[in-house]
Structure 1
Amino acid sequence: MAQSKLAVVTGASGGIGAAIALQLSNAGWRCLLLGRSEEKLSQLQQQLGDQHQYLAIDLVQTQSHRKVVSQAQAMGTASLLVNCAGSNEMRAFQDISPERIMQQLTLNLHVPMLLTQHLMEQLIQSMGTVINVGSAFGYIGYPYQSVYCASKFGLRGFSEALSRELDGHVNVKYFAPRATNTHLNNDDVRSLNKALGNKVDSPERVAKEFMQLLNSSKRRWVVGFPEKLFARVNGLLPELVDSAIIKQLKTIRNYIRCQFNTKESSS
């Protein structure tokens, strides 16, 4: 009996990554689960079954990528790489330290690029697929999300360029969820989304849309409406999106001010 295909999933100890791994398992994939929390990865692996394995590693440390390549090869060669690990911090740009800027850019952009490069030989051999999990903010520049947007715009550009470069050898796709109910969004962010009228998806809903992208010939996928429309309009007539977002600035600034004052009073 032929062995089922292998998917390497980063950020598998988080909400979206774990939900994607569950959907892949249900569809017959074996998963190599990557993340920093051994406890969460172990729990997920037990839920999925013995055919799945995990590595508790920090992908920011580039030497860890060789461990991923070696483990994937031992499991029978990667046919899918899901770059899902990421971080976000909603702050005024001038208040973000240089160290935090580098940390976000490294995890959100550099890690997916380098891990893709390290696994490229296996992906070419299997004529596999890379899906980079970005964000609707990879299409739409959003206030107080400057570093996050920069990283996701970069990831989208990388995905598009590599997709065209490897056409016919490896499929490269960009998946863009909107606001999702995960640990990256604390109670304050949830309150802001509610105040702005933003729709928030469950990780399970996002994972189901991920599977639709995986099983389609599409190279890009934005989750939800009106985000899908905004992404298109922003590419054609960004001035219209400028006006819509600027109307939200007062609410966003009040949130940022309250968040800052709360941190100051608790320090």
Structure 2
Amino acid sequence: MQLSDCRVVVTGASGGIGQALVQTLCASGAHLLLVGRNAEGLEKIASRYPGKANVVVADIAERQGREAVLAAARSFGGVNTLINAAGLNSFSMLEQHDEEAIAALINLNVTATLQLTHRLLPLLRQQSRGLVVNIGSIFGSIGYPGFAAYCASKFALRGFSEALRRELADTQVKVLYIAPRATRTSMNAENVVAMNDELKVTMDEPLAVAAQVMQAIRSEREELYLGWPEKLFVKLNSLLPGLVDQSLRKQLPVIQRFAKSKN
């Protein structure tokens, strides 16, 4: 799909990757509905792109929030692209997690994302061409210590993307799943950044991720995994998971130490 033809709903628009997606899309001529809970932040972002970006202040984890997004999309004259970029992350060993925090993470990353897609799918199907773009994670293919709840949510999002793609195979709506590796955003707490530095894990800049998302949208690429050697580890984990087990076992003491530190 040509970016200039895109009429896009972007959830999580005030987040690190979300803002980079907004910047890149607007620069390419797309028209956007920016969805998020931070009214001030969204308005500030939209003011940079007059005539290109409208704001929808809504919590998509709530029914009324999803209804607000649907109403805005209808008033917008319809949309042909939904980018599900909203999400939460949490780094700690599972036994250290708070039960309510686990529920909130799964609710936003999985349940609300599916529910919003369900709401907007009829609008997408009205278009000559439609896209659902789910921003997943390398951790949607590799279970990583310290991120059990987050991995569970991204594994679910990957499965949702695959199933919905097959469900819509006889329609004009395509489903894309894009899996960034570690990205330098505020979603990653200071102890995560410090751990990645010690383990020599590369963290991409949000604009670099956004650029690759744009390429996937243009080519309508169904699946894209970002980063090397992360792509290799995804393949190894599916074919020879024992090798990945051994590699991560060596990292476990470092992961445990940083998980116990304060964010």
Give TM-score, length-normalised by structure 2: 0.95
Query: Hey, what's the Cα distance between the residues in 2 that align with 1:257 and 1:63?
Result: 37
Q: Count residues with an aligned counterpart.
A: 258
Q: Percent identity?
A: 40
- Contact kept, 8 Å, 2:84 with 2:113, in 1: the verdict is yes
Residue of structure 2 equivalent to 1:83: 84
Matched residue of 2:219: which SS?
Answer: coil
- Contact kept, 8 Å, 2:58 with 2:69, in 1: the verdict is no
Q: Choose between structure 1 and 2 for higher RCO, CA contacts under 8 A separated by at least 6 residues.
A: 2
- Shift of the alpha carbon at 1:257? 2.4
Deviations 1:114-147 (A, max 9, x none): 0000001111111300011111000000011110
Deviations 1:216-256 (A, max 9, x none): 24211111101111111111111111111111001111112
2:164 alignment partner AA: L
Residue of structure 2 equivalent to 1:33: 34
Residue of structure 2 equivalent to 1:155: 157
Deviations 1:2-24 (A, max 9, x none): x9531000000111001111111
Q: 212, 217, 232: which is aligned to 1:214?
A: 217
1:176 alignment partner AA: A
Residue of structure 1 equivalent to 2:228: 225
Residue of structure 1 equivalent to 2:75: 74
Matched residue of 2:115: which SS?
Answer: helix
Q: Which runs of no fewer than 5 residues in structure 1 stay unpaired?
A: none
2:123 alignment partner AA: Q
Matched residue of 2:60: which SS?
Answer: coil
Q: 200, 203, 208: which is aligned to 1:200?
A: 203
Cα RMSD (Å): 1.3
Residue of structure 2 equivalent to 1:141: 143
Of 110-119 and 160-169, deviating more is 160-169
Query: Hey, what's the Cα distance between the residues in 1 that align with 2:190 and 2:95?
Result: 24
Q: Which runs of no fewer than 5 residues in structure 2 stay unpaired?
A: none
Matches within 5 A, 1:91-240: 91-126=92-127, 127-169=129-171, 170-240=173-243
Structure 1 residue 55 and structure 2 residue 24: aligned?
no
Deviations 1:61-106 (A, max 9, x none): 1221111111111111110000000011111111212211110000
Query: Hey, what's the Cα distance between the residues in 1 that align with 2:199 and 2:42?
Result: 34
Deviations 1:9-49 (A, max 9, x none): 00001110011111111221100000111111111101122
